[in-house]
């Protein structure tokens, strides 16, 4: 959760940095949000655009771009002849690191994109990482329409859908990151929509999926953020499935956010743990009514059922924390219910001190105390 929240903070910081240059007109009535043209930093020019380590060999960015074009031609020729797999891997790793430092090292992103469209599966991940990096520079993003070559904009993007939906986790993440970097560019709106990306941005199945695919979630959020900067994109973005995705992202990250708002956690509570075991002869229904929250807890134990016959009786409010050795405190109902078909079935519940059954104490009425006193005198 700490890693999740740290990543969310980075996104928030990035968002705040972007909106620092935005002013809202007539904000009380939901006015338009014009972007300021003023730049807060000077543009990097000349040899400063070349990474320091390469300035001895490359005096200008054009020289470095020419070299990178040559390396991409080598990659393309090797793929066409089905040779030099190790060489291809080395070149792409080198160029990915280079474009991470200076995205404009690749003059035209389309030169990378056209290789992706015909490349075998094993090379998709490094190629898409390179493409994502080449599109990350704000100078490239802020190009005017007349400065665009048009090749990338007019290229087909529907073949990207399998890369987004069924490829390896890294490939899916780099593909989404590529589309996210294209998000602020109005002319790329059809390209992004035709890729089918909005078919995969949908409600999340569970919190465990949210944690395991957190990199994908971040890239989806970045894409939505970048595209909604423009009013023309709202109809494409604000669909029922996208709203469901946003709802689940807030839902599954709210626990850590609420912790940050409320301050340090309360002192540890000494729980009492109750174990309930059901054998083969204990056929459903077991007699437990459970409220499926996080964590789930018992809302009622039905009479004349296996649950009512347990040696250690369960109580309303007992929290289910473990099923057959698996921690279920953060799981959803759909993830826990299949466990209940297993036999033997061992459930572990925890009970807070205030919910423990109180010891019964003997109390006497006033007249009973008088009778005892008389007996003592005799």
User: For 99-123, what is the mean pLDDT?
Assistant: 89
* Poorest-pLDDT segment among 56-60, 275-279, 362-366: 362-366
C-alpha to C-alpha distance for 355 and 372, rounded to whole angstroms: 35
C-alpha to C-alpha distance for 221 and 209, rounded to whole angstroms: 16
Q: Give residue 124's pLDDT.
A: 93
pLDDT band at 347 (very low <50, low <70, confident <90, very high): very high
User: For 146-163, what is the mean pLDDT?
Assistant: 74
Backbone angles phi, psi at 289, to 5 degrees: -100, 125
pLDDT band at 60 (very low <50, low <70, confident <90, very high): confident
Q: Give residue 177's pLDDT.
A: 92
Task: Quickly count: other Cβ atoms within 10 Å of residue 115's Cβ.
Answer: 20
Q: Which of 52, 115, 43, 111 is nearest to 78 (CA)?
A: 115
Q: Give residue 290's pLDDT.
A: 92
User: For 37-54, what is the mean pLDDT?
Assistant: 62
Res 30 pLDDT > 50:
no
C-alpha to C-alpha distance for 357 and 316, rounded to whole angstroms: 11
Beta-bridge partner residues of 319: 297, 350
For 118, what's the count of Cα atoms within 13 Å in the CB-facing half-sphere? 13
pLDDT band at 22 (very low <50, low <70, confident <90, very high): very low
Token couple for 133:
């990096």
Q: Give residue 55's pLDDT.
A: 77
Q: Give residue 26's pLDDT.
A: 43
Q: Give residue 36's pLDDT.
A: 47
pLDDT band at 277 (very low <50, low <70, confident <90, very high): very high
Report which DSSP code applies to 22. Answer: B
pTM of the model: 0.59
Res 254 pLDDT > 80:
no
206: helix, strand or coil: coil
Are 224 and 242 contacting, i.e. CB atoms less than 8 angstroms apart?
yes
Q: For all residues of the chain together, what is the average pLDDT?
A: 78
Beta-bridge partner residues of 298: 290
């Amino acid at each position: 959760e700490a890693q999740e929240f740290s990543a969310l903070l980075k996104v928030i910081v990035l968002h705040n940095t972007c909106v620092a240059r935005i002013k809202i007109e007539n904000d009380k009535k939901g006015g338009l949000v014009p972007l300021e043209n003023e730049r807060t930093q000077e543009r990097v020019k000349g040899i400063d655009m070349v990474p320091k380590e390469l300035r001895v060999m490359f005096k200008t960015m054009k020289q470095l771009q020419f070299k990178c074009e040559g390396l991409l031609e080598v990659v393309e020729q090797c793929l066409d002849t089905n040779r030099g797999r190790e060489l291809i891997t080395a070149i792409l790793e080198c160029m990915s690191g280079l474009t991470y430092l200076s995205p404009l090292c690749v003059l035209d992103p389309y030169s990378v994109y056209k290789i992706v469209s015909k490349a075998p599966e094993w090379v998709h991940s490094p190629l898409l990482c390179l493409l994502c990096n080449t599109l990350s520079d704000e100078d490239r993003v802020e190009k005017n329409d007349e400065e665009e070559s048009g090749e990338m904009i007019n290229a087909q993007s529907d073949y990207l859908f399998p890369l987004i939906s069924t490829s390896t986790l890294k490939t899916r993440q780099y593909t989404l990151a590529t589309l996210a970097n294209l998000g602020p560019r109005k002319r790329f709106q059809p390209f992004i929509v035709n890729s089918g990306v909005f078919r995969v941005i949908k409600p999340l199945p569970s919190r465990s999926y949210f944690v395991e695919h957190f990199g994908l979630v971040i890239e989806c959020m970045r894409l939505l953020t970048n595209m909604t900067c423009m009013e023309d994109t709202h109809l494409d973005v604000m669909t029922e499935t996208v709203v469901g995705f946003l709802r689940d992202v807030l839902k599954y990250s709210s626990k850590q956010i609420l912790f940050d708002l409320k301050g340090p956690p309360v002192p540890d509570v000494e729980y009492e743990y109750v174990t309930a075991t059901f054998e083969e002869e204990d056929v459903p229904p077991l007699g437990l009514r459970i409220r499926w929250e996080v964590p789930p807890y018992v809302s009622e134990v039905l009479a004349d059922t296996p649950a009512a016959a347990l040696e250690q009786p369960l109580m309303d409010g007992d929290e289910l924390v473990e099923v057959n050795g698996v921690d279920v405190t953060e799981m959803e109902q759909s993830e826990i219910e299949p466990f209940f078909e297993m036999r033997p079935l061992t459930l572990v519940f925890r009970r807070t001190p205030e919910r423990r059954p109180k010891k019964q104490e003997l109390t006497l009425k006033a007249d009973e105390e008088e009778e005892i006193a008389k007996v003592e005198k005799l």
